[in-house]
Amino acid sequence: MSYCYDYPRPAVTTDVVVFTIREETLQLLLIKRAAAPYQGCWALPGGFVEPDESLEQAAARELEEETGVAGVYLEQLYTYGAPDRDPRDRIISVAYYALVPSDRLQLRAASDAEDVRWFGFDALPALAFDHDHIARMAHERLAAKLDYSTIALQFMPERFTLGELQEVYETILRAPQDKRNFRKRILALEAIEATGERRRNGAHRPAMLYRVRDPQRVAIIK
């Protein structure tokens, strides 16, 4: 079976920059390429867009195939189409980025063993194609959005402390935040609420647990 057209057509893929935060580091999901080009090289998860799915559906499908997670935050980043970005064929990639809460990052067993792994964003291996460029742009977008949206809440598990949330901000922004100003600012958004429960977590005072008010919604601030 083959599909024929009057003019040459590029192939269209989606690539997904999957972020999570674990152990106070920003992590990124990569897969090891099984086929040429860049065989054996690490790359962003992604694949061809099917005829009957939207671009976002394609990205969500790739994400679920690699990680088993669904329903997480997913946003279109940019479309990359330099003619030589793939050495063999003309491939246009619509890149998305996804944020996975830290309590849902267990990779599905289905993903064949060692071919899928989390990497610290500061310790990435060499990446295939222009994927390092895509990953950098995704990080810039994410850091920018911290300032004018509630996007960081997408990383949080069901219950979390303000200290944990602050660590998320500090990890992405690579800068310490003032504790009192941070709490004032976050609580003023009214995007999270105290649960009333506390978490005892070592030799110190227990912390109040919070939850996100509307977990789906990413509000724009100001």
Partner DNA sequence: GCAAAAGTGTTCCAGATACACCCATGT
Partner DNA sequence: ACATGGGTGTATCTGGAACACTTTTGC
Applying the rule CB under 8 A, the residues between 61 and 90 that interact with its own copies are 76, 78-79, 81-83, 90
Which helix or strand (DSSP H or E) is residue 132 part of?
Answer: helix 131-148
Rg (the chain; Cα; Å): 19
If the CB atoms of residues 59 and 135 are measured against its own copies, the closer one turns out to be 59
Site string for DNA, 169-208 (x = CB under 7 A): ---------xxxx-xxx------------x-x-xxxxxxx
User: For residues 185 and 193, what is the distance between their CA atoms, to the nearest angstrom?
Assistant: 13
Question: Which H or E element spans position 140?
Answer: helix 131-148
Could you say which of DNA, its own copies, none residue 106 binds, taking C-beta under 5 to 8 angstroms by partner kind? none
Integer angstrom CA distances of residue 124 from 20, 39, 110, 147: 14, 17, 24, 25
The 3 state secondary structure assigned to 35-80 is CCCCCCCEECCEEECCCCCCHHHHHHHHHHHHHCCCCCEEEEEEEE
Whole-angstrom Cα distance, residue 181 to residue 119?
31
Residue type, 17: V
Of residues 88 and 204, the one with the C-beta less far from DNA: 204
Convert residues 4-23 into a mask of x (bound to its own copies by CB under 8 A) and - (unbound).
xxxxxxxxx-----------
Helix (H) or strand (E) holding 119: strand 116-120
Angle between helices 179-189 and 162-173 (to 10 degrees): 100
Q: Least separation, in Å, of the C-beta of 127 and its own copies?
A: 20
| From the list DNA, its own copies, none, partner contacted by residue 113 (C-beta under 5 to 8 A by kind) | none
| 113 binds its own copies, rule: CB under 8 A | no
Q: For its own copies, which is the closer residue by CB, 96 or 155?
A: 96
d(CA 199, CA 164) in angstroms, rounded, equals 12
Judged by beta carbon, residue 2 or residue 216, the one nearer its own copies is: 2
Nearer to its own copies, 81 or 120 (CB): 81
Which one-letter amino acid corresponds to residue 179? K
State the nearest-atom distance from the C-beta of 8 to its own copies, in Å.
5
Stretch that binds DNA, among 24-32, 60-68, 93-101, 155-163 (CB under 7 A): 155-163
- Report the interface residues with DNA, using CB under 7 A: 161-163, 178-181, 183-185, 198, 200, 202-208, 222
Chain residues in the site for its own copies (CB under 8 A): 1-12, 48-49, 51-55, 76, 78-79, 81-83, 90, 92, 94
